[in-house]
Amino acid sequence: MFEARDVVKEVHRRTVLNGISFSFQAGRLYGIIGPNGAGKSTLLKLLSGVSSPDGGQLLMEGEPVGGIPRKRLARRLAVLQQGGLPPAGFTVREAVAMGRYPYQNWLGDEREDAGPMIEEALRAMGLADLQHRPLDRLSGGERQRAALAKVFVQETGVILLDEPTTHLDIGYQVQLMDTVRSWQKEKGLSVIAVLHELNLAAMYCDELLLLHQGRIAAFGPPEQVLTAGIIRDVYGTEAIVVRHPRGKAPQMMLVPGSLLP
Ligand SMILES: Nc1ncnc2c1ncn2[C@@H]1O[C@H](COP(=O)(O)OP(=O)(O)OP(=O)(O)O)[C@@H](O)[C@H]1O
């Protein structure tokens, strides 16, 4: 679905992505992980067509992402960004309904009634009771869930998520990732998520792409990427890696300095 060939990206004359190559298959959930400043958001911007590589090629189904016209791209790919909701003045339902814009004509009408889909997305994100509330009267976590509902109603085959669990308590982190995973499987979606929370990434993603200083430090199933040795090399911290007692995902326990041998 996506193929990166020797992709280079510079930001303010600094090389932020330094010749990375990978391919993402359709219908899978990928996590992009790595320390602060590793280049994760920069890579997500390239995948979403917001910016273009300075070297190499980034292809989506064989076409350079940057060359795909905006509205066509919006029917294929939806992005959950930080601050991705419209400014205040809209209700939750109005904001979620804006996800339908790629399917509307210039009058804002669309052929099919999107109402039932909007209801489903609001229900899935636990927002049915808040749907008429203005956005500026939501908590950070409620806004995040509204932004995800807007992404779902865009009905694309590819979803990009930039740190989707930010602002969410552990209950909603699990609920959001469960929802993403079940929609992804049910509808055969391709999901690519920048994630900071490594234990969540390990539990939900098919594969993890670990970036470090603009290069790929590891790419593969979570149990190959999240090893104590790789975490030490990339994050510079000790971790005890165990298997999740109810699955095979690796889970990390951090080791504070006072408990180091
Ligand atoms: N607008 C900018 N101006 C200057 N440097 C930038 C800009 N945006 C990003 N960078 C630099 O590019 C590098 C990669 O940034 P990026 O945001 O992609 O990292 P990240 O892996 O998403 O980090 P984080 O985990 O902190 O969100 C960093 O060193 C950052 O300082």
Say whether pLDDT at 147 is over 70: yes
Cα distances from 62 to residues 3, 4, 65, 140, in angstroms, run 8, 10, 9, 38
> What is the sign of the dihedral through the CA atoms of 200, 254, 141 and 212?
negative
Q: Residue 126's CB: how many other CB atoms inside 10 A?
A: 16
214 lines ligand 1 (CB under 6 A): no
Q: Residue 100's CB: how many other CB atoms inside 10 A?
A: 18
Instruction: Work out the average pLDDT over 33-52.
Output: 94
Say whether pLDDT at 84 is over 90: no
CA of 167 to the centre of ligand 1 (A): 20
The angle at the Cα of 28, spanning 24 to 34, to the nearest 5 degrees, equals 65
pTM of the full structure = 0.90
Q: What is the pLDDT of residues 26-39, one digit of tens each?
A: 999 999 999 999 99
Say whether pLDDT at 179 is over 70: yes
As a whole number of angstroms, the distance between CA 211 and CA 254 comes to: 20
CA of 77 to the centre of ligand 1 (A): 23
Complex prediction ipTM: 0.94
Range of the domain at 109: 2-259
Residue 72's pLDDT is 84
Q: Report the CATH number that the domain containing residue 34 is assigned in CATH.
A: 3.40.50.300
From the list 159, 95, 148, the residue with the least C-alpha distance to 121 is: 148
Instruction: Work out the average pLDDT over 61-71.
Output: 88
19 burial via Cβ count (<10 Å: 0-12, 13-18, 19+): middle
As a whole number of angstroms, the distance between CA 192 and CA 126 comes to: 23
| CA-194 nearest atom, ligand 1 | 22
CA of 22 to the centre of ligand 1 (A): 20
Task: Give the number of domains in the chain.
Answer: 1
Residue 144's pLDDT is 85
As a whole number of angstroms, the distance between CA 257 and CA 234 comes to: 17
Tell me the pLDDT band of 105, cut-offs 50, 70 and 90: low
